[in-house]
Chain A
Amino acid sequence: MTYEITSPPPELTVAVKGRLDTLTSPKLESDLEPSIAKSKSLVLDLTGVDYLSSAGLRLLLTLQKRFKKEGGSFKLRGIQPGVMEILRMTGFLKILSVE
């Protein structure tokens, strides 16, 4: 997994590439923490993500809860079919905003 901050805080946009699984999701979360702390909104560009495990789902859930609590906005962008299927099946599409 690699990522790139394409737009800096406070309107943070991060493009993620690779798999979001048990190993990479916690790393992405801790890496982004300083930027997220300074942001009012976050857009995760998942164009390059081809696999999302339950750990990835958990990361999305954590971010969703966090921005909701602080009145910010959290959106997903560029969701690939495989990932879309997972989000659909698990009902995550019901609670997440997709651009």
Chain B
Amino acid sequence: MRRTFQLWLFVSVALAFAALFYLTYYLQTKEAFSAAESLIELRTEDAKKQISINENNLKAVLDICNASMANDVKTVAYILECVPAFATDAHKLEELRQVMGYDEIHVVNKHGLIENCAIDPVIGNAEHYIGFNLKLHAQSEPFVHGIGKKDFVLVQPPLPRGMDRRLFQYGGASRLDDEGIVQLGISVSFLERAMENNSLATLSPGLRIGVGGEILILRGEKIVGAARVDLEGRTLTSIGIDQKLIDDIRQGEGSFSAEIDGVKFFGLYVQSGDLTLVGVMPNYEVTSKRNGVAIQLIIAGLVLMLVVFLSVSKLVQTIVIDGIDRINVSLGRITAGHLDEKVEEDNSEEFRKLSGGINTTVEALKGAIAAEKTRLNSELEFARAVQISALPQIHDDPRFEIYASMEAAKEVGGDFYDFFIVDESHLAFLIADVSGKGIPAAMFMMNAKAQLKSNILNNPRKPLDEVIYDVNNSICEGNDACMFVTVFVGVLDLRSGLLTYVNAGHNAPVVRRANGEASWLPVENGFVIGGMDSVSYVQETFQLSPDDGILLYTDGVTEAMNPQLALYGDDRLITLMDGPIMHSAPSDCILDELKGDVLAFADGAPQSDDITMLFLRYLG
């Protein structure tokens, strides 16, 4: 039971733990991704703002530049109107250029050809520019459209120029002195710095999310900004993202899971102007906190499970199983026959009830057993009474004296004796010992006794051995239980003193002469009666003189036992009978003396067999 209980307890606790673990793991995972989502969202938003700030800064710088150049070029047009020499004099124009701090000043005539020109010598030779037709160059062509228009002002955006592709900006306005255009040109290195300062690349350090996560800034499919510099310039396809997801990422907002360079990432994407911002975090980082929690939970859970398992197991052992074990021990003792055993398990109401129930049942059983015992005893007593009543009464006859006694052991025994007058001159007497005890022995005894008596009485002329032969066959019939009886039977001729006898397996009697001397009666040891049919018996004779006696007894005498388990024995019997006590004992005291000696020998040891004796004295 304990094993089964422990197994179930273990399974239950383990299942509960597994369920709890799964639930926690699931919630933690959900929580981790939700936290990662919030973090990425926040960082993406920050990046978006930063990009916007950068763009605005750059735009402000550009606006200032443009406004400044527009003013400057209009100023040059005004100066040319006031001092027409600037339009034609290259030196003067060079002075003006130096004063204004520009790299180039062009004076263009109404045909779109450069008439006069001042150029920073570092850049080139002004003479080479004279006669350059603005119409022939895509960059300068837009200025041609201003010729003849009075308020024309154009400031071009900075464009890369020359071998080194440095940014160069041109501005132009209508001439006031003549039909044509004046142009200013400047290498905008400060603008380059401003653009550099505000480029996406400068955002890189701020694009990191956590340790392994980052924000990718995409223009089209190309990565133009990332925390990891090596990613810049690569495409989404080249970092392992499939086309379908790329299509999704490039429009709208959402979240996704994908592998980037072989590592699983969780990501969010959002649009910002012409840029797409993709915030990603590696899954291992998203779930790292969860994994820590999970490991702690497993350790705590295992400890808790062990504690619960051991506590409940111990508790059940103490409260239930120990109680049941103790009850079982008590029940074992009760089953073994100790009906006085009390079950006293009272550590719970249930056990109190169970103990009470068992005790009540055992008490009832004891009562029933006692009642049955009483009934059986009364029946046995009754059987005993029937047996004793069947024993003959002492005859008052001048030709003989007869004394008999039967000391029954506890149970209904199988001993009996009998004597009866066969005819006017013959006395039959016998002693017998039935094998076994109890009711079956008693019934067998009654049958044997009746058979013997009736056969002897009915066949007074028949030899005694033949009578016994008949009795044996009769008793053997239907004796399936293999019971048998040892019998010594004698018939005394009361006129002559001649004793005729048959011994069927019984102890040899003792002859006591008139002078007190005693000796064994010589007997042929015939087979017991009832053991086997068609057995022959031997009839013997012995001459008794007047006052001679004969003692018959059963093995209750010779096999009486003392506390040392020694048997009384034939030797002690014949020694007593032939001894001085018996020599002087009157015949009516012989049986008492013998009984006294047997009891003295037994020395308090319980009597295990019937002690039956019969003493016949022939008076003549």
Contact = CB atoms under 8 A, between A and B. Distances in A.
Q: Do A and B bind each other?
A: yes
Interface stretch (A3-11, A34-42, A86-94): A86-94
Interface string B476-487: 000000111010
B504 A54 contact: no
Interface in A25-57: 54-55, 57
B412 to A, nearest CB: 14
A17 interface: no
A55 B532 contact: no
A91 B435 contact: no
A57 B483 CA distance: 10
Residue picked from A54, A58, A95, most chain B C-beta under 10 Å: A54
Contact of B527 (A22, A54, A65, A91): A91
A62 interface: yes
Given A61-B531, A88-B525, A95-B527, A54 B436 contact: yes
A65 B482 contact: yes
Interface size class of A (residues with CB under 8 A): 10 to 19
A91 B436 contact: no
A57 B535 CA distance: 17
B527 A92 contact: yes
Contacts of A54: 433-436, 484, 486, 555
Given A55-B435, A55-B436, A61-B531, A91 B504 contact: yes
B528 A90 contact: yes
Nearest to A58: B435
Interface in B431-448: 433-437
Interface string B494-527: 0000000000111110000000000000000111
B288 to A, nearest CB: 76
Interface string A61-99: 110110000000000000000000000111111110000
B525 A22 contact: no
A92 B484 CA distance: 11
A57 B525 contact: no
Nearest to A57: B435
Interface residues of B, number: 22
A92 B527 CA distance: 6
Contacts of A62: 482
Interface string B153-192: 0000000000000000000000000000000000000000
A55 B483 CA distance: 9
A94 B435 CA distance: 18
Nearest to A65: B482
Contacts of A89: 505-508, 525
Contacts of B505: 89-92
A93 B504 CA distance: 13
Contacts of A93: 525
B528 A91 contact: yes
Contacts of A22: 436-437
A91 B508 contact: no
A52 to B, nearest CB: 11
B274 to A, nearest CB: 105
Contacts of A55: 435-436
B535 A95 contact: yes
Nearest to A62: B482
A32 B55 CA distance: 114
Contacts of B507: 89
Contacts of A61: 482, 484, 531-532
Contacts of A94: 526-527, 535
Contacts of B506: 89-90
Residue picked from A57, A61, A91, A93, most chain B C-beta under 10 Å: A91
A90 B486 contact: yes
A82 to B, nearest CB: 8
A22 B410 CA distance: 14
A92 B124 CA distance: 159
A25 to B, nearest CB: 10
A64 to B, nearest CB: 8
A66 B434 CA distance: 21
B482 A95 contact: no
Contacts of B486: 54, 90
- Which 3 residue pairs are nearest across A and B when measured between Cβ atoms? A91-B527, A90-B505, A54-B435
Given A57-B435, A92-B531, 18 more contacts: A54-B436, A54-B484, A54-B555, A55-B435, A55-B436, A58-B482, A65-B482, A89-B525, A90-B505, A90-B528, A91-B504, A91-B505, A91-B526, A91-B528, A92-B528, A93-B525, A95-B531, A95-B535
Interface of A: 22, 54-55, 57-58, 61-62, 64-65, 88-95
8 contacts: A54-B433, A65-B482, A65-B532, A89-B505, A89-B507, A90-B506, A94-B527, A95-B535
